Structure 1
Amino acid sequence: MPTALIADDEPNLSAELASRLTRFWPELQIVAMPRDGVDALAQINERRPDFAFLDIRMPGIDGLKVAQLASEVRVVFVTAYDAHAVEAFEASAVDYLLKPVTDERLLRCIARLQRQGMSATDAGTVVSALQREAAPIRWLTVGIKDTTKLVSIDDVLFFQATDKYTEAVTSEHRHLIRTPLKELLLRLDGERFAQVHRGVIVSYAAIDRIERDLLGRMRIHLIGHDAVLPVSRAYAGLFKQM
């Protein structure tokens, strides 16, 4: 009987993937669902699963490092971002799934696992498809302890980088996510969001007005929110006609 481990720091997402894998591949036994990279590596070494479904961004050790250290297991990365696809296949990943994973895509992954591997041609095709077709983010998963909350991208007014995290700011809340701003920008719809500062991405729809002070510095005022966002010189051209 084939066995698998699912590692994701969002337990609800792990449980949902486990349920779908069980439904589509009844013979597959899920032996562990660790929530950080250190535990994932320990569980892989202890339980020796055939497959490991790994999130890339996890506390402790990221999924790429786990894959490098656990060379005996066949790895499928399950992540919200396509930026690490090339690195993943260099780490001998069998497949790379972008969240949210559709049933059709998961079934193709299962078929690939059952065929015992991916050729170099297959890997190149997947990377090309990810780079060409990766859909813009529609929702964010934010976690508080054991609770996972989905935040619609439509509700986000702006993203702001902090020391270790990125804040996704809505009209009522500030949510912390671990995705760096530069990676987030790759998965946002460029017609709806714009980077206006090294540490700020704003929703066009949230902008009320742009004001320029006596020194020529531009500031964005938002609709229904008291935050005032800086616009650096490098991005001032976005609002040249405004």
Structure 2
Amino acid sequence: MNTIRALIADDEAHLRDYLESQLKTVWPELRVVAHAANGLEALRLIDEEAPDVAFLDIRMPGLTGLDVAARLASGPKPPLIVFVTAYDQYAVEAFEQSAVDYLLKPASLERLEKTVAKLKTRTTAAPAASLQALLAQLAVATPAPVPAAAPLQWIRAAQGDQTRLISIDEVIYFQSNDKYTSVFLADGESLIRTPLSKLREQLDEQKFWQIHRSVIVAARHVAGTRQDFRGRLMVQLKGRPEQLVVSRNYVDLFRQM
């Protein structure tokens, strides 16, 4: 049986430690691979570690657990979500984010055992059964197909105090920052306000590859890959010194390289 990997996100360290100790009692084969103290850190660690399960405190600084779950829903391999909180009024909204379960702090061993049972069922479900469930949902109500929009061809970006019109063919890679997305070109860097998640929808996926939650790279500028001393997969670019980290969720793109 494959090891099930988990992340625990809570802004109170002693509560993270308490939940981990309880989990060791009821699910000894579970491996907690990361702890996060806030929502942004949780997103980063989930992207890097690709856990199977994420225990998310709902009330965290910055992004709440609900915000984190909503962002994960659009990712390629979202983990199973269990919300943990002291406030049961969040229950309805929590399950709207497709949580496997909902725990009130402090979670008792008896209650946690029920959660673990649900998680084990979900993590060991046969792919065929999951596919059958998906097909059944699609059979009930499938929206009419929407014609695909043409891939993005031009970008209007800020460079210093000027606005520049950039051909998509000039882009080497995109990298998201707090409020902006950086556009890296052969002759410098420009900024746009379009979030990376929105940008991804407008790009030709054959020409632009997402390799990290915060990075999309132009495939024609990829020279190859290597592993660094920490075991991370790194993308090497043609004619550029910087190397880009590939998160665990996207390493399958490079299996054949």
TM-score (norm 2): 0.45
* Structure number with higher relative contact order (C-alpha < 8 Å, ≥ 6 residues apart): 2
